[in-house]
Amino acid sequence: MSARKTVLSAIQPTGNMHLGNYFGAVKNWVDLQEKYTCYYGVVDYHAMTMPYDVQKLRTNTWDLITNLVAVGVNPENLFIQSLVPEHTELTWIFNCFCSYGQLTRMTQFKDKSTQVKDSGKEDYISAGLLDYPVLQAADILIYRADFVPVGKDQEQHLELTRDIAQRFNFQAGKEYFVLPDALYTETPKIRSTADPSKKMSKSAGEKHYINVFADEETIRRQIKSAVTDSGDTPAGKMAEGVENLFELIKATGNKTDYDRLLEDFHAGTLKYVDLKQVTADNLVAMTSGFIEKKKEISSDKRKLKDQVKQSSFEIRKRAQETVREVKELIGLMNV
Ligand code: AMP
Ligand code: TRP
């Protein structure tokens, strides 16, 4: 009998969920739940590493939880990072097994610290931002995760996590932590419908993303105005904007529509109005289910909050077990 493998992933509580987040990450979380023991964190400690709005953090955390559950994440698999303080305890321990130089070389640290500097707030480049990947390593290793579904942008952080695990194991004289593997599942990269040369993202502005919980009219309007072909695409090649609409249809799972329209494209008979109509129909069919579920959850917010507090409490027991063993292994005190 082989035990179920463990999956850990996490997401920062920042703003709304758009189709890029859903198809690129969260849908995968939902699917993985069938095969693995999954721990999914809403990482509010990570959200403090950049200048942030204190008034919004807690609301964003609950909003993200509501959204995750509305699209199919099982509340039992969810935890809130700040409700499991062992993550920060393990972070301290890992800090002492992590090379300072390696942290300064992380591309995300370089990018984000430049971003803070460019906004004229150099003094706000926090030690937390530098330490961000160590907290991430603690998130992963505390549950002894086998797999970590992440995007390619997180590759370096995963490498660092493995380095920390190895260093720890060496110091402890025992292969205590398994080295986790990234799970780069095939997830689509969704582009902005307003400017297909960019990826769909919140930071680019309103028209560059489609909210997963947008009403039908908004989705239809945004897809209708999607940029398809600026006219300079060589014959037989698909323009990025057109490809993006195909990608969206495929991502909703409607293979029949996808195949039929692709045939039309190759035959040179594809009409962009039809492509847009079908894209919007499929998106609306999918998101209307999410909106329904969100309405249902939102009618009893207390219930969901209690549920996720409870699941964080249960998940914390696993984290406590690891920290207890870790302290034992490296000469710290347990009561
Ligand atoms: P962010 O909102 O940028 O922090 O991203 C949260 C998650 O969504 C990450 O795993 C990203 O890789 C994923 N994601 C964000 N935007 C897109 C996009 N346009 N296409 C695919 N995945 C995305
Ligand atoms: N750094 C990740 C991101 O920006 C979020 C994250 C925090 C994470 N802890 C994690 C992802 C642990 C995977 C595992 O997307």
Q: Residues 144-182: pLDDT tens digits?
A: 999 999 888 899 999 999 999 999 999 999 999 999 999
Mean pLDDT of the chain: 95
| pLDDT one-digit tens code per residue, 8-24 | 999 999 878 999 999 99
Q: What is the pLDDT of residue 289?
A: 96
Residue whose CA is closest, atom 16 of ligand 1?
A: 20
Burial class (CB in 10 A: 0-12, 13-18, 19+), 199: middle
Active site (annotated) includes residue 303:
no
pLDDT at 231 over 80: no
Ligand 1 centroid distance, CA of 204 (Å): 13
Q: What is the pLDDT of residue 184?
A: 86
Question: Which of 56, 199, 250, 293 is an active site residue?
Answer: 199
Nearest atom of ligand 2 to the alpha carbon of 145: 14
Structural domain boundaries in the chain: 6-187+301-329, 202-296
Ligand 1 proximal residues by C-beta, below 6 Å:
11-12, 20-21, 24-25, 151, 189-190, 199-201
Higher-pLDDT residue of 122 and 259 is 259
Q: Which fold, 6-187+301-329?
A: Rossmann fold (3.40.50)
Ligand nearest to the CA of 106: 2
Ligand 1 centroid distance, CA of 185 (Å): 14
Active site (annotated) includes residue 309:
no
If one residue of 21, 112, 157 were mutated to test the ligand 1 pocket, choosing by the most ligand atoms within 8 A of its CB, it would be 21
Range of weakest confidence among 11-25, 39-53, 78-92, 93-107: 11-25
Q: What is the pLDDT of residue 16?
A: 84
Matching CATH number, 202-296, of 3.40.470.10, 1.10.240.10, 1.10.1740.10, 2.60.120.620:
1.10.240.10
